[in-house]
């Protein structure tokens, strides 16, 4: 059996509309990874010919974020677990693939001046969109409005992102807490 045949079997059994165990968004995500990454590269391989070291090297050379490579690896592992469950193959070589999801570098944290300049340069509608994005989970700031750590006041048109760092990023986190990002909504 080839990996493409296994992927087709998996999609029919697990990603169909009748399977309520898997969320619709997860099904779409799995289908996307299968279609874009996994089947084009590994589809013609017979299952016994897929080796952990080869998959690991392939993932290492993909020009994608570590988290994306980790998700590709995880979908491949789910495929092989599916094969084992249906007695289509007796092992999962992907379990031996080493792939970290750790960021390669710390995200760039916006300074209070950068936030002020950004907000001042925008029209009101766009300003609100950026403010919500920064407060929600923007890559440059990675803040979280829903966590209750961000203070945005519509009454006095001000906000504080002083305690909004949601992950430990070493120096970036310390810099954010030393210089809290306070701003006025214009």
Rounded distance, CA 3 to CA 44, Å?
A: 7
Global pTM reads 0.60
- The DSSP secondary structure of 17-80, one letter per residue, reads TT--SS-HHHHHHHHHHIIIIIHHHHTTSBGGG--HHHHHHHHHHSSS-HHHHHHHHHHHHHHH
Question: Tell me, what's the pLDDT at 135?
Answer: 66
Q: Is the pLDDT of residue 152 over 50?
A: no
Residue 100 in contact with residue 70, Cβ under 8 Å?
yes
pLDDT tens digit sequence for 1-40: 999 999 999 999 999 999 889 999 999 999 999 999 999 9
Amino acid 71: pLDDT: 94
Closest by CA to 52, choosing from 93, 84, 80, is 93
Q: 47-51, 95-99, 148-152: lowest mean pLDDT where?
A: 148-152
What percentage of residues in the chain have a pLDDT greater than 90? 45
């Amino acid at each position: 059996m080839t990996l493409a045949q296994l992927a087709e079997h998996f999609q029919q059994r697990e990603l169909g509309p009748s399977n309520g165990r898997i969320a619709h968004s997860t099904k779409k995500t799995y289908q996307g990874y299968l279609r874009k990454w996994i089947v084009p590269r590994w589809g013609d391989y017979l299952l016994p010919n897929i080796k952990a070291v080869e998959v690991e090297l392939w993932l290492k050379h993909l020009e994608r974020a570590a988290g994306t490579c980790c998700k590709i690896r995880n979908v491949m592992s789910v495929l092989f677990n599916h094969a084992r469950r249906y007695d289509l193959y007796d092992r999962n070589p992907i379990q031996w693939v080493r792939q970290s999801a750790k960021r390669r570098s710390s995200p760039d944290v916006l300074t209070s001046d950068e936030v002020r300049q950004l907000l001042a340069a925008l029209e009101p509608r766009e300003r609100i969109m950026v403010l919500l994005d920064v407060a929600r989970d923007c890559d440059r700031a990675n803040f979280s409005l829903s966590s209750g750590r961000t203070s945005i006041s519509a009454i006095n048109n001000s906000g504080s992102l002083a305690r909004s760092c949601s992950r430990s990023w070493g120096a970036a986190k310390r810099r954010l807490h030393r210089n809290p990002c306070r701003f006025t909504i214009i």
